[in-house]
Amino acid sequence: QTKCRNLYLSPGDGQKWSRLRTQSLHGPSPVTTFGPKACMLQNPHAVMHIQDPASQRLTWNKPPKSVLVIKKIRDASLLQPFKELCTFLTEVKNLMVYVEKKVLDDPAISGDEVFAAITKKFCTFREDLDDISNRVDFIICLGGDGTLLYASSLFQESVPPVMAFHLGSLGFLTPFKFDTYQSQVTQIIEGNAAIVLRSRLQVRVLKDNWEKKDTVDEKGIILTNKDLETSHKAMQHQVLNEVVVDRGPSSYLSNVDLFLDGHLITTVQGDGLIVSTPTGSTAYAVAAGASMIHPNVPAIMITPICPHSLSFRPIVVPAGVELQIKLSPDARNTAWVSFDGRKRQEICHGDSITITTSCFPVPSICFRDPVNDWFESLATCLHWNVRKKQNYLSSEDEEF
C-alpha cells in the first residue's frame, strides 16, 4: 500500500501551498524540466524513473536565450575569465546575461570603462530580493564548488542546468576547464551534453516561539507572566550537500533524537550529526568517516560527528524516508544547524528539523558523463586509493 504525504513549500510570495508526493523507497520522481526551456531527454528503454547514468542527456524545448553567470565575489584571479565569458555570451551568442548586483559593484569591474559598455546589457538581481527562477535558461559558475552550492540556493524549486568551470581550489563539482570555454559553451547551447541529476534535501525547520501574554483581571489590572502563548515559525531550505546539526559553542555533548518516518531510531550523543545527499557524501561527511556515494544513487546518508560511542557507524537510508531531528528532552544545551554551510541558527527545545528528498534536483552538466566525471574527481581531487605499486614477484624471489 502506498502512503502519501503533504509537503508544504514556501514560494517567493510567502504563501504556503502543498504538493502531494507519493512515498517510495526510491524517493520522489525528480522534476526533469529545468528552468523555462531545458529538460532531460527521455530514455524510452528506462524501466524505472532512475535512468542509466550514462544515458542522461540534456535537450532544449526551445533555444536558450538567457544565462546566469555566477562568480566568486572579489576574487582577482576570476576577473579576466569573467569578462571574457560575459563578452562572448553577450556579443557572440546574443544571450541575455544575468549577474548578481554585488558582483558588478566590485571596483575592479565597475571601474573598467571598456567592460562597462558590456555590463549595461546585463540584467542584475539581488539575493533573497529578486526572483529569477523563471528567467534563466542555464547557469555558468566560475570558481570552486561553493559557486555550485550558491547556485543551488538561488532556486528553491526547478533549477536550470548548471555548467561549472574549475577556477577554485578543490573543484570536485566543477569538471570543466576554462581554456576551451567557447567550444564547450557552444556545445551546451546546442544541447550536446550529458547531465547528472544531483538530488537535494528539502528541509523544514519548525521553530517554537514562546511569547509572554499579558492578561487582565476583573478590576482591569494587567497581570504579566501568567500565561505563555506559543507560535510556530516554519522555514524551508533546499540543500545540495548536507544539513549539519552540532553542539555549537557549548562544551557539552550534543544530545539529539533522530526519527525515521515517525519512529525514534537513535539518540546522537557527540559533537553532532550530518545528514547528506550523495553529492554531499564527498564533502563534510567523508571527513567524518562516511562512505562516498555516487550522485545517481537514490539515498540519504546519516553520519555522526565524533560520537561518544564505539559502535555508531555512518548509515545509508532510502531516499524516500522522512527524517526528523529534535533536541532530546534531557539535553543539557541547545544545538545549532546549518544548510550547506549557510544560514546557521540555534535549535532549542520544541524545535524540529524535518528532512526529505526534494523533487527538485540540480541538473549538473558533465564534461564526459556522470560515471567518468565522478571517478576522475575522486582521483584528482581526493587522491582516492593512491598507493605505491607493489613490486612484481619473480621466480627467484619466491625461493626466499
| Residues with catalytic roles | 145
Report the C-alpha gap between 5 and 11 in whole angstroms: 19
By the 8 A CB rule, do 264 and 257 touch?
yes
Closest CA to 278 of 30, 10, 22: 30
By the 8 A CB rule, do 238 and 358 touch?
yes
Report the C-alpha gap between 366 and 322 in whole angstroms: 30
Residues in the chain: 400
Amino acid type, 381: C
* HSE of 86, CA atoms in CB hemisphere, 13 A: 29
Report the C-alpha gap between 37 and 27 in whole angstroms: 25
Quick one: cell of 325? 531531528
Report the C-alpha gap between 230 and 256 in whole angstroms: 22
CA distances from 171 to 61, 122, 133, 166 (A): 30, 27, 26, 5
By the 8 A CB rule, do 305 and 242 touch?
no
3-state secondary structure of 5: strand
Closest CA to 133 of 265, 308, 11: 11
By the 8 A CB rule, do 67 and 98 touch?
yes
